[in-house]
Amino acid sequence: MPDISSDRSAATPPPRTSVWLGFVAFAAVIFAQTFSILTSPADRDMGHLQKIMYVHVPAAWMTFLAFLVVFVYSMRYLWKQNENDDLLAASAAEVGAVFNGLTLMLGMIWGRPAWGVWWVWDARLTSTLVLFLIFVGYLALRAFVDDSVQRAKWSAAVGAIGAINVPIVYMSVKWWRTLHQPQSSPGTLDPAYTLGLRLNAIALLLVLIYFIRKRYEIARLERAIEDFAQAAAMGGK
């Protein structure tokens, strides 16, 4: 990921996120979903339910990627104390929480017809829910702490520790006996489904990048507005 956090001071908002990136990202999702739905044959065991994989699995991958960004920029904030790193980590955390919630909902919709239940407390589902709750807590923490330096420090600590749960979620289907199937990846899939999964993952990756950039732009604007308000309160300009 390009380093977009150290280009300017936090008080100066970044340039507007390209609208074209958004258009390309959403057009890519429409193309990828249409292609995969029309070209993939019904699975021998799951029938057409298999098509839920094209949204559920990429959403889970984007969750992991977003929380990886949180981890990297939280560690970087703790190291360099650059406020922009904190804002980027927080932006990725919010987007990651959205994808995490989406992954859980899609998994429940897939689980009901496949397993006969909406939810089961197995290792994969439970660890994914714990990951979601950690990052909801992270966002709540940011909302309740007024001092920006304390907020950044505590958030970085929670973000870095919380992201450690990502490899636990990923490996849970290997480490414990679960109802959830092993990880779906191009290496474990029938070749008939590989291209569709890759296309959907790339399309959702573009959406993830667009969302994080846009959220980061807003975070910088809000921070600059806070600076204005503080300067005004202190009798400055």
Partner 1 sequence: MNVFEMDRNFVIAAYSVMWVVVLGYLVRLIRKGSRARTDYDGMVGANGGEKP
Q: Which of 106, 92, 159, 90 is nearest to 131 (CA)?
A: 159
Residue 41 touches partner 1, criterion: CB under 8 A: no
Nearer to partner 1, 40 or 156 (CB): 40
DSSP state of 51: G
The two counts, helices (H) then strands (E), for the chain are 7, 0
Window 182 to 211, contacts with partner 1 (CB under 8 A): 207, 211
Is the Cβ–Cβ distance between 165 and 128 less than 8 Å? no
Give the integer Cα–Cα distance in Å for 183 and 221: 39
The least distance separating partner 1 from the CB of residue 186, rounded to whole angstroms, comes to 21
Asked if 231 is part of the footprint of partner 1 (rule: CB under 8 A), the reply reads: yes
Does position 40 interact with partner 1 (CB under 8 A)? The reply is no
Under rule CB under 8 A, which residues in 99-158 are in contact with partner 1? 101-102, 105-106, 109-110, 112-113
Minimal distance in Å, beta carbon 175 to partner 1? Answer: 27
Gap between the Cα atoms of 73 and 84, Å rounded: 9
Spatial separation of the C-alpha atoms in residues 4 and 31, rounded to whole Å: 29
- Contact window for partner 1 (CB under 8 A) among 12-20, 116-124, 150-158, 188-196: 12-20
Q: How far is the CB of 71 from partner 1 (least distance, A)?
A: 22
**Site stretch for partner 1 (CB under 8 A), options 65-73, 98-106, 170-178, 190-198:** 98-106
| Count of residues that bind partner 1 according to CB under 8 A | 41
Q: How far is the CB of 230 from partner 1 (least distance, A)?
A: 8
How far, in Å, are 31, 124, 194, 199, 201 from residue 186 at the CA level? 19, 20, 5, 11, 11
Q: Return the number of other C-beta atoms located less than 10 Å from residue 16's C-beta.
A: 9
Q: Closer CB to partner 1, residue 53 or residue 166? A: 53
Round to whole Å and give the CA distance between 207 and 202.
9
Q: What distance in Å separates the CA atoms of residue 190 and residue 218, rounded to the nearest whole number?
A: 42
Minimum CB distance to partner 1, residue 57 (Å)? 12
- The residue ranges that bind partner 1 (CB under 8 A) are 11-13, 16-17, 22, 26, 29, 33, 47-49, 51-52, 55-56, 59, 95, 98, 101-102, 105-106, 109-110, 112-113, 207, 211, 214-215, 217-218, 221-222, 224-225, 227-228, 231, 237
